[in-house]
Chains A and B, each alone.
Chain A
Amino acid sequence: MAEAPSHSEKLKSWDRMKVEGFSKKAPVTTPYPFTDIEKPPEFRGIPHINPEKCIGCGACVQACPPDALIMEWDKEHGVKRLTYNAARCIRCARCIEVCPTGAMEPTTRFEIATDNKEDLVEVVEHKLAYCEECGEYLDFTERQIEYVRNILPKEIFDAYALEDRIKLTQEEKMRRTVVKLRELESNVYPAFMLVEKGKEKKGGEE
């Protein structure tokens, strides 16, 4: 089998004249709706969310100018929902640029006319991380935590401390810090109590 051409070679070899087959009589027009039309590989069509790669961080939601992408939290059921609505999309491809994992995938699709609005909507649901300590769901997803674990350099962060705290709500983190500070400043609590509590918790997690 011959080696597959590189991306830039693929771009280079695409030729409109060959693809669309213009005649001499009609040099720029095609009987379009009755024939298929192919867009060049550079074309910015509507994007598509790859649910396998998406971690639910919401970077695309922050960047999207017309709010075609929206994020909803359902703390009761522990779900974070990312909705993409192609009807609102202006095809600026900002989401593709900002996505940290490459989950927003560019396509060359442009024919999205439909008689059912729901065809235009893509929904990705993520499971929110759960704080065992206070029995509440966190603001971020389990995949986000996984992602953070992978990108943080191990040598700099204390891996155990990270494991300890990464799945806690903000309030719980603050509470712990306060406890620790008090302990350091005035020794109100004996040191062994804190250590013991930490140990217990760790055991529970495993």
Chain B
Amino acid sequence: MVGTKDLEAHFEFECKACEDGRCSKADVESILAERKGLKDFYEAFKEHIRECKRMTYGQYMFVIDREVLPEAVLWWHNHPKFKETHMSTAVGTDERPLNGHFAYMPFLNVQVEPFKMDENYWVFLKVYTPADDPSFPSVAAKLPAALWIEREVKDLLGFKPVGHPDPRRLILPEDFPDGVYPLRKDMDYRHSPITEPRTEYRETPEGTTLVPMGPVHAGVEEPAHFRLFVKGEKIVDVDYRGFYSHRGIEKTGEGRLTYNQVLFLAERICGICGYQHSVSYAMAVERLADVEIPDRARYIRTLLLELERIHNHLLWVGIAAHLVGYDTGFMHAWRIREPVMWLVERLTGNRKQYGMNIVGGVRRDLLDYRKEEVLKVVKEIREGTKKFLDIALNTNTFIKRAEGVGILPYKVAKAYSVLGPTARASGRKIDARLDQATKTAMAYHEVDFKVPVYKEGDVLARVLVRMDELFESLWIVEQLIDQMPDGDIFTPIGNLPEYQEALGFTEAHRGEVVHYVMTGEKNKVYRWKVRAPTYNNLPAVPEMLKGYHVADAPIIIASIDPCYSCTERVQFVDVETGKVKVLTEAEFNELSIKYKGVF
């Protein structure tokens, strides 16, 4: 009998991983030559780089020593040529079952040139820490963009960011015991211990008065607790406590679900930008499986993403009008929005939670009569919105409350890695639709549109950016319907490679959504990290609030279009794990009673 080893001796097998650049044996020089800037970084940190590889198209990973982590992140962030480079977020992974180490990995969106998706790339800086000492020097001490994520890995994985300026609890509830880390692999996801609650609010500075705002926000009706320290009417400082709706979907996705099931969970992270999450996740898995999805599927995805953006911007402008006391505008914006909801209901089967995605394509085709419907609605909305803006932007109630309020300077926006329309209103030239290679899952490179950028950085600029974007989106939809190619809508996916990583991303209406996926054995997800845009925008809100009146606080907070449930990753499915799942009705009830107070 011929064994596998004999065969290997006779034939030279082509190493797929080497060809993709995923393998550690791949040629480093050729990988570094692919994009501008990689070589410089390699030269600058040569003695600290352990490994260098390409994860997938336009995504590069460096494994570096933990001592130089802050310098490496800041090298990219403050790169003199790549002006809009920002630290996107980071991900902590418990890799002890694989190699006995914890891994912490910040990643950066490197922008060689704005809006050139084939030149820009992602850089992942991976740091391994020993299992008995999971500490690393804090990046947050020098870069506020890392403030939250380091507190997050401290809560969920027990990492120790040394020198963090604000090491309070961020995500876990007050009554969660210390020393229990939910995202470690040795903790079962059904385990939910409780101790005595212990709050860690910041002390009120001397000479100021505390005005609590929340735990439910006035306009957006979601849980977020702002503590405003005021002097007279003026806001001096702000403390924030949120994550009241954190329920650990990442753990659920890693523990029990198959890769196609996670998709539907991802869509239910948010009630507004659900489809963006679903596309991001699908994109990450498609990158991992290395398949090319059909053109028609890419177009249908793009169409739905843009329709989602249109209705969300109309929703947001309505809320903004409501918060400044212009309720007529609120009613009209929502009236204009409703036909889009009806349209997507007919395109996909639901007003929200479209359920259109599957890894490898979409589930429903776009029939001809639906195309006509889309064009009809687009026309209606363009006329309606023009008329609405004409009136709203000439209304004193609206303008006086929005102009010159909540100014976010460019430098602060960059330091906090603010994303989306909030960043574009402050003069940052970023848009993940064109910045990074979205071409594997979407069709943005095949349509023509502009990205509006304003310099003022106040609430009015944020309104105007969003409204300009809305008209661009309408224009994109028209082009997509016009150019829609024929063909299949789905490609089957084979087995996923084991323990590989990839990133999926889209530009949601609030900024870039990032889904990091690391595959495990047997087509399961080993680590799934979701980062919604509000996660980066919300830490910058205290900076916007300082110096303005208490009455302006709701509109300033709402002007970033916050979505707390995205940020906090809600939606928990409380179910048993195992191969054959059997749960009786009585057990279900028991579980729900048991967890009633907890979740």
Contacts and interface: CB of A to CB of B under 8 A. Distances in A.
A66 B573 contact: yes
B334 to A, nearest CB: 8
A193 interface: no
Contacts of A8: 367, 369
B201 interface: no
Contact of B350 (A27, A61, A64, A91): A91
Interface string A48-86: 000000000000010111110011110000000000000
B264 A90 contact: yes
A70 B338 contact: no
Contacts of B138: none
A11 B349 CA distance: 12
B251 to A, nearest CB: 15
A44 B573 contact: no
Interface residues of B, number: 31
A136 B64 CA distance: 60
B170 interface: no
Nearest to A61: B581
Interface string A82-121: 0000000011111001000000000000000000000001
Given A65-B261, A65-B264, A90-B268, A16 B342 contact: yes
B342 A11 contact: no
A54 B327 CA distance: 53
Contacts of B350: 43-44, 91
B274 to A, nearest CB: 11
Given A65-B261, A94-B264, A43 B369 contact: no
B346 A40 contact: yes
A61 B581 CA distance: 9
A12 B367 CA distance: 9
A28 interface: yes
B400 interface: no
A12 B369 contact: yes
A90 B269 CA distance: 13
Interface residues of A, number: 28
A28 B581 contact: no
A42 interface: yes
Contacts of A65: 257, 261-262, 264-265, 573
Contact of A92 (B257, B264, B581): B264
A72 B342 contact: no
Given A11-B367, A70-B581, A92 B345 contact: no
Contact of A42 (B262, B345, B575): B345
Contacts of B268: 90
B369 A92 contact: no
Interface in B307-363: 334-335, 338-339, 342, 345-350, 353, 355, 363
B342 A91 contact: no
Contacts of A12: 369
A186 B335 CA distance: 84
A90 B353 contact: yes
A42 B335 contact: no
Nearest to B367: A8
A73 B579 CA distance: 14
B582 interface: yes
Contacts of A90: 264, 268, 353
Interface of B: 257, 260-262, 264-265, 268, 334-335, 338-339, 342, 345-350, 353, 355, 363, 367, 369, 573, 575, 580-585
Closest 9 CB pairs of A and B: A44-B349, A65-B261, A28-B338, A12-B369, A65-B264, A67-B575, A92-B355, A92-B264, A66-B573
28 contacts: A8-B367, A11-B369, A12-B369, A28-B338, A28-B339, A40-B345, A42-B345, A42-B346, A42-B347, A42-B348, A44-B349, A44-B350, A61-B581, A63-B261, A66-B264, A67-B573, A67-B575, A70-B581, A70-B582, A70-B583, A71-B581, A72-B582, A90-B264, A90-B353, A91-B355, A94-B260, A94-B264, A121-B585
